Amino acid sequence: MTLAIMSASEDGPQQGSAPVPNGLAEPDESARLLAEAEAVRAAIRGKRSDKLSRLFDFLLERTIAGRPPSEQEIAREAFSNGRDSENGQDATVRVYVHRLRKALETVYADRPGARISIPKGEYRLVLGQDVPPGEVAEPAAGGAVAPPGSKLPWKGLLLALAVLLVANLVAWAVLVRPSPPRSGLAGTRLWQAIAQDHRPITVVLGDYYLFAEPPAAAGGATASPPRLVRNPAINAREDLDIYLMAHPDKIGRAVDMDLRYVPAGAVAALDDLFRALTTLRPNPPPSLIAASQLTPDILKTSDVVYVGQLSGLGTLLRNPLFQASRFKIGGTYDELIDTLSGRLYRSDGGIVQSDEHIPRRDFGYLASLPGPSGNHLVVIAGMRDPALLQMTELAVSPDRLKALGQQAPREPGGFEALYQVRTMGTLNLNGALLLQRPLRAGGIWDQPNASQRFPDDAYEGAGHARR
């Protein structure tokens, strides 16, 4: 696999670039650009970063006005970070212009005809026809780029791991057979809205990004397989690009292999969940994707059931959920803070204990909320795997779900419930309902910013609302 490290200067204005005259753009051209921007805006907003959406809208506004902004103006007006980019001290603007350019290339990968692009060395949007793919950038100073077609000695191993993960996900989606009917599930507070809907059901599995650290070959010997690394602040290849720009000493030592992993607890929870969903709505059968594969289109056209740890939600689900929730995430995803009472709920899962026979405490979370287009979402989550497994067992048991329906009225905006789960080792012993309450679902799909700064938003910068 070829590795290309983008130079920091790629997205900055280059000497000799054609100037853009001041003044308003041609009306017809502006109208076409605005129409195309409206068509791709949802896809841009579906990316991990709130900044990408703000940058796109800012460049569009200034392009229509015929006044392409400077790097300092973008930093000050679009990102509101109060910092300039003089003397190359702040690469944030160049990084996000690079990410936006790549996002646009992805949007138009399978769409012929007119497309929006960002010319190299300029900060404006242009509408053209079938823009050819961008050239591979030269390596940053001190960075090595593998030549096209070169073979890394451990590529086969990582490719096999990726294929195995995809095969496992497909197997769960295709090979699971329905169990005997589970009566009463369609009438529970958690599932009633989905049971009465007609849209296909998509199960979204929380997953996590991995990058590789290839070992150095000693004495001409063949390098051994790489070490796979999970860094909570690096959740996509774009994050890795930004990390490498901030840590140039890591260039060549941290490699994107387009790999992700799924915690064992989430996979173990799928069997009972698929059986229950197949009984709830036999046709069409539910489909399965990873959270990293969730798109705005899937989110609008299907009923979505998320199963995984809270940390694996992904931006498309996490941001609207916590706009509606009365909880916020604490310093880590092992913490939930009740914004009404100020109470902190912390899992013991991150505490190293030598004796696995000592009971621990974990927390599980269930939620049901309206989707962006009249569809419905169900969230089955835990801070750690034991709570996740307990929540899945509870979510497919009509008898255990009765407590939710008996203790609170059904709300059109949905509800959330928090459970305390007692664990021992990898076993979940029991779960007790701590609280349940309505969600504030009005307008959650129209909010441009996240409700808070989340623990893994290391590269998102300013601009998040706080409660």
- 85 lies in some domain: yes
Residues 268 and 225 in one domain: no
Q: Can you list the residues of the chain whose pLDDT is less than 70?
A: 1-27, 46-49, 80-91, 129-183, 216-223, 350-359, 406-411, 424-429, 457-467
Residues 372 and 253 in one domain: no
Number of domains in the chain: 3
Residue with tokens 């290849």: 237
**Cα within 13 Å of Cα(121), Cβ side:** 10
Residues 334 and 307 in one domain: yes
**Residue 14, Cβ neighbours under 10 Å: how many?**
12
Q: If you count them, how many residues does the chain have?
A: 467
Given this model, what pLDDT does residue 180 score?
42
Q: Which long-range contacts (CB under 8 A, 24 or more apart) does 338-343 make?
A: 338/435, 339/467
Residues 290 and 345 in one domain: yes
What is the distance between the alpha carbons of residues 71 and 154, in angstroms, rounded to a whole number? 40
Residues 330 and 188 in one domain: yes
Given this model, what pLDDT does residue 317 score?
93
**Cα within 13 Å of Cα(183), Cβ side:** 0
Given this model, what pLDDT does residue 404 score?
83
Residues 226 and 273 in one domain: no
- 223 lies in some domain: yes
Closest to 37 (Cα-Cα) out of 108, 131, 134: 108
Residues 110 and 188 in one domain: no
- 99 lies in some domain: yes
Strand partners, 305: 203, 378
Q: How far from chain centre, in Å, is Cα 96?
A: 17
Helix 50-64 to helix 27-45 angle (10° resolution) is 180
Residues 406 and 432 in one domain: yes
Given this model, what pLDDT does residue 49 score?
60
Residue with tokens 């005997």: 180
**Residue 137, Cβ neighbours under 10 Å: how many?**
17
- Residues with Cβ within 8 Å of 372's Cβ and at least 6 positions away in sequence, in order, are 299, 300, 320, 445
What is the distance between the alpha carbons of residues 190 and 396, in angstroms, rounded to a whole number? 10
Q: Quote the Cα angle for 185-187-193, to 5°.
A: 100
- 452 lies in some domain: no
CATH number, domain with residue 361: 3.30.379.10
What is the distance between the alpha carbons of residues 349 and 387, in angstroms, rounded to a whole number? 10
Contact call for residues 327 and 439 (beta carbons, < 8 A): no
- 459 lies in some domain: no
Given this model, what pLDDT does residue 430 score?
72
What is the distance between the alpha carbons of residues 55 and 77, in angstroms, rounded to a whole number? 10
44: domain range? 1-150
Token couple for 230: 């999970």
Helix 92-107 to helix 237-246 angle (10° resolution) is 160
Helix (H, G, I), strand (E, B) or coil at 93: helix
Given this model, what pLDDT does residue 294 score?
92
Residues 302 and 442 in one domain: yes
- 28 lies in some domain: yes
Closest to 75 (Cα-Cα) out of 53, 99, 64, 91: 91
What is the distance between the alpha carbons of residues 329 and 153, in angstroms, rounded to a whole number? 41
Distances (CA, A) of 329 to 48, 340, 383: 17, 14, 10
What is the distance between the alpha carbons of residues 198 and 188, in angstroms, rounded to a whole number? 17
Q: What is the pLDDT of residues 110-166, one digit of tens each?
A: 777 888 989 877 889 998 865 444 333 333 333 333 333 333 344 444 444 444 554
The DSSP 8-state label assigned to residue 156 in this structure reads H
Q: What is the pLDDT of residues 188-215, one digit of tens each?
A: 999 999 999 999 999 999 999 999 988 7
Distances (CA, A) of 309 to 199, 319, 417: 25, 15, 15
Given this model, what pLDDT does residue 216 score?
66
- 415 lies in some domain: yes
Strand partners, 327: 338
Helix (H, G, I), strand (E, B) or coil at 293: helix
Residues 26 and 85 in one domain: yes
- Residues with Cβ within 8 Å of 74's Cβ and at least 6 positions away in sequence, in order, are 55, 58, 59, 93, 97, 123
Given this model, what pLDDT does residue 98 score?
81
Q: Is the peptide bond before 284 cis (omega within 30 degrees of 0)?
A: yes
Contact call for residues 58 and 15 (beta carbons, < 8 A): no
Token couple for 190: 């958690």
- 455 lies in some domain: no
Given this model, what pLDDT does residue 89 score?
43
E strands, 156-247, are 201-205, 208-213, 227-229
Token couple for 54: 């703000």
Contact call for residues 326 and 338 (beta carbons, < 8 A): yes
H or E element that contains 438: strand 427-438
Q: Quote the Cα angle for 160-162-167, to 5°.
A: 90
What is the distance between the alpha carbons of residues 351 and 353, in angstroms, rounded to a whole number? 6
What is the distance between the alpha carbons of residues 86 and 134, in angstroms, rounded to a whole number? 26
Residues 84 and 135 in one domain: yes
Residues 188 and 250 in one domain: no
